[in-house]
């Protein structure tokens, strides 16, 4: 059985096609999901891709969170459906309260686009089991609103429960608290991160690295072994 992984397209999504390609390269079947459609078409997992959904109006992710497709994603994520939010997708997940905290503008007030070094802090989520805890990886980062913030209680809880999944290394590119680049929910099925693993899956393009591919092979293994 081939695992079917849905990729949502909102008006303004940019990286839905790259995400579908990464899923295919990992060996799973990508399924295009439309923001107006509440039906998830029996997918086994969902990726919310990067971009500027609904133009980032009001606040990045604030409108997408109320889209018909998110109604079902929120309901099913709470029931255990694996969901990955990449960059704008991470912003949607915080706005939807599937992940705690929120994203503010980068502290230097500029759009940033660079290859970013990260440390994998948690290799036990549905999306990171093909990494090793402590592993250092490089994947591209490109955003305006990447500064992760949360109140002290939430930060302490995330740290104590090992729910910081990725941390920026060498350089904090946006002022994120505790150098946080990605987090997970309590159950470990929902993960959000600002850098873009789908842009680092083929040796022939970009940095020539494939450090992002394990996201997609991790979830495939989990679904196939389920
Ligand atoms: N690449 C992305 O998804 C970044 C877009 C995002 N809405 C931002 O903060 O700029």
User: In percent, how much of the chain has pLDDT > 90?
Assistant: 95
Give the per-residue pLDDT at 1.
Answer: 67
Active site residue 198: yes
Active site residue 113: no
Active site residue 87: yes
Residues 6+ apart with CB under 8 A from 28: 2, 3, 4, 5, 216, 219, 220, 223
Report the half-sphere exposure of 73 (CA within 13 A, side-chain side).
Answer: 32
Give the per-residue pLDDT at 196.
Answer: 97
With a cut of 70, say whether residue 115 has pLDDT above it: yes
With a cut of 80, say whether residue 226 has pLDDT above it: no
Q: What's the pTM? A: 0.97
Q: What are phi and psi of 214, to 5 degrees?
A: -55, -25
Give the per-residue pLDDT at 207.
Answer: 75
Averaged pLDDT for residues 111-123: 96
Digit-coded pLDDT (tens) for 21-43 = 999 999 999 999 999 999 999 99
Digit-coded pLDDT (tens) for 41-61 = 999 999 999 999 999 999 999
Give the per-residue pLDDT at 62.
Answer: 96
Q: Which residues line ligand 1 (CB under 6 A)?
A: 50-52, 56, 60, 87-88, 91, 142-146
Task: List the residue whose alpha carbon is closest to atom 3 of ligand 1.
Answer: 50
* CA distances, 9 to each of 20, 116, 198 (Å): 11, 25, 15
Domain boundaries, given as residue ranges, for the chain: 4-225
| Closest atom, ligand 1, to C-alpha of 87 | 3
Digit-coded pLDDT (tens) for 57-87 = 999 999 999 999 999 999 999 999 999 999 9
With a cut of 90, say whether residue 94 has pLDDT above it: yes
Short-list 17, 15, 53, 19, CA closest to 36: 53
Mean pLDDT taken over the chain: 96
Using most ligand atoms within 8 A of CB, pick from 145, 197, 206, 212 the residue to mutate for ligand 1: 145
Residue 2 CA to ligand 1 center (angstroms) comes to: 31
Q: 4-225, what's its fold?
A: Rossmann fold (3.40.50)
Averaged pLDDT for residues 86-93: 98
- pLDDT confidence band for 2 (50 / 70 / 90): confident
Digit-coded pLDDT (tens) for 172-219 = 999 999 999 999 999 999 999 999 999 999 998 877 889 999 999 999
């Amino acid at each position: 059985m081939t695992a079917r992984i849905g990729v949502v397209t909102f008006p303004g999504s940019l990286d839905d096609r790259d995400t579908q390609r990464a899923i295919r390269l990992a060996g799973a079947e990508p399924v295009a999901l439309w923001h107006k459609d509440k039906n998830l078409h029996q997918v086994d997992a969902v990726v919310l891709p990067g971009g500027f959904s609904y133009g980032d109006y009001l606040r990045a992710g604030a409108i997408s969170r109320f889209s018909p497709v998110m109604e079902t994603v929120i309901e099913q994520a709470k029931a255990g459906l694996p969901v990955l939010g990449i960059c704008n997708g991470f912003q949607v997940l915080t706005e939807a309260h599937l992940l705690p905290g929120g994203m503010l503008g980068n502290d230097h007030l500029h759009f940033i686009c660079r290859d970013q070094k990260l440390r994998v802090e948690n290799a036990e989520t549905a999306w990171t089991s093909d990494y090793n805890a402590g592993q250092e990886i490089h994947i591209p980062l490109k955003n305006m609103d990447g500064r992760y913030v949360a109140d002290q209680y939430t930060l302490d809880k995330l740290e104590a429960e090992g729910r910081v999944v990725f941390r920026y290394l060498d350089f904090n590119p946006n002022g994120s608290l505790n150098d946080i680049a990605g987090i997970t929910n309590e159950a470990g099925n929902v993960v959000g991160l600002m850098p873009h693993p789908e842009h680092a899956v083929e040796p022939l393009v970009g940095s020539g690295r494939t450090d992002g591919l394990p996201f997609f092979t991790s979830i495939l293994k989990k679904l196939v072994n389920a």
